[in-house]
Amino acid sequence: MKRTIIAGMGHYVPENVVSNHDLSKIMDTNDAWIQERTGIKERRWVSAEGEDTTSGMGTKAARKAIADAGLEPSDIDFIIFATLSPDYYFPGPGVQVQENLGIDTVGALDVRNQCSGFVYGLSVADQFIKTGMYKNVLLIGSELHSGGLDKTTRGRGVSVIFGDGAGAVVLQGTDDQTKGILTTKLHSEGKHAKELALLGPATSRWVDRIIEENDPEDMSYYPYMNGNFVFKHAVTRFQEVIHEALQDVNKGPEDIDLLIPHQANLRISQYVQAKMGLAPDKVFNNIMKYGNTAAASIPIALSEANEAGKLKKGDLLCLAAFGSGFTWGSALIQF
Ligand code: UT7
């Protein structure tokens, strides 16, 4: 059986920086509240007149990851794209990346697992690579949240948190059994589906009603989050799923060299870090700069951590995510 390694990484974030102070000019919020509750100082939001899209940002991150792996787009034999904010309701953005990169007619799979999407995609890619079915899988997480947020005081509990951006990795098979993905763990709990969801623009039976009512007060057009409820579940599930993965490979928290958690909230990351007895420098956070970029947050952080020299050969890397669904998951990778 092959092992799956991360052969290349890349990320792209839009140029437009939106600070907490900028937000306080368009809604009743302030820098102190946002920083204290979330750790976020600023985020990137695509500019309305700009050309950035979810698939476009994903393509830019993908180009960097492919170059970082020393490959050409034509070497990619499967594409996985994780997002909760696709350009179109259908088709998903995987096929747009295939077209943008001029890759031959390889398969393109769209993953709809929100903030856990990258970890889910990683697990799927791992199965394909281990069995030898594919050699170079391109895995992308990309989000354009800013176009769909309620940027008024009414929506401040959600809109100050989310940012735009994309990250990508190229996953490759190797016969070297000393490195690569050791395990992945995936979970879901659909009874909490509506606690963090976008319910409005859904199946075709809604379209007639949306057009007829044309109701700007209909909050179902915007993402809804029961923040406290999600927070409590997140801190528990993060720890559970990391311990589950560690147990699977007979390791403990002390063996982790770097934990990259989905960047949901700095308080969540710090709580998990403290509860697991990890030193602060063993957890990588960049939510301060980008906010919560959902499926893009782990690959952006991974790419930045790598650029900053925080990943060394032989390190045990742990990825963990929790989000809408609820869905959650983890991965352990010997770097
Ligand atoms: O990525 C997927 C997973 N997502 C998460 O894990 C997110 C989990 N949840 C959270 O991160 C936190 O619950 C939030 C950051 C969303 C909210 O923090 P909180 O400490 O749970 O605040 P809260 O929702 O209980 O709101 C406290 C107060 C409320 O006012 P009252 O009722 O106490 O008067 C809110 O209206 O803060 C008010 N508030 C704001 N004030 C200023 C809510 N949003 C804002 C805002 N600026 N942006």
pLDDT in tens, 162-179: 999 999 999 999 999 999
103's CB contacts (< 8 A; 6+ apart) are 73, 74, 76, 79, 97
Q: Which two tokens stand for residue 124?
A: 């799927």
What pLDDT is recorded for position 301?
98
Short-list 301, 258, 297, 304, CA closest to 278: 258
Amino acid at 75: D
Catalytic residue at 262?
A: yes
Q: pLDDT tens for residues 267-286?
A: 999 999 999 999 999 999 99
Under 8 Å between Cβ of 61 and 168: yes
Catalytic residue at 136?
A: no
The DSSP bridge partners found for residue 6 are 171
Q: pLDDT tens for residues 26-66?
A: 999 999 999 999 999 999 999 988 899 999 999 999 999 99
What predicted TM-score, i.e. pTM, was given to this entire model?
Answer: 0.97
Selected catalytic residue, list 113, 115, 136, 233 = 115
What pLDDT is recorded for position 204?
57
Selected catalytic residue, list 20, 265, 286, 292 = 292
In the 8-state DSSP scheme, what is residue 292?
B
Question: How far is residue 13 CA from its own chain's centroid?
Answer: 13
How many angstroms separate the Cα of 296 from the Cα of each of 22, 40, 61, 220?
A: 23, 16, 10, 24
What pLDDT is recorded for position 209?
79
Regions of the chain where pLDDT drops below 50:
none
The DSSP bridge partners found for residue 168 are 10, 140
Q: Which domains does the chain have, with CATH numbers?
A: 3-174 (3.40.47.10), 180-334 (3.40.47.10)
Average pLDDT, the chain: 96
How far, in Å, is the centroid of ligand 1 from the Cα of 160? Answer: 10
Which atom of ligand 1 approaches the CA of 324 most closely?
2
In the 8-state DSSP scheme, what is residue 217?
T
Is the Cβ atom of 7 under 6 angstroms away from ligand 1?
no
Protein residue whose Cα sits closest to atom 28 of ligand 1: 157
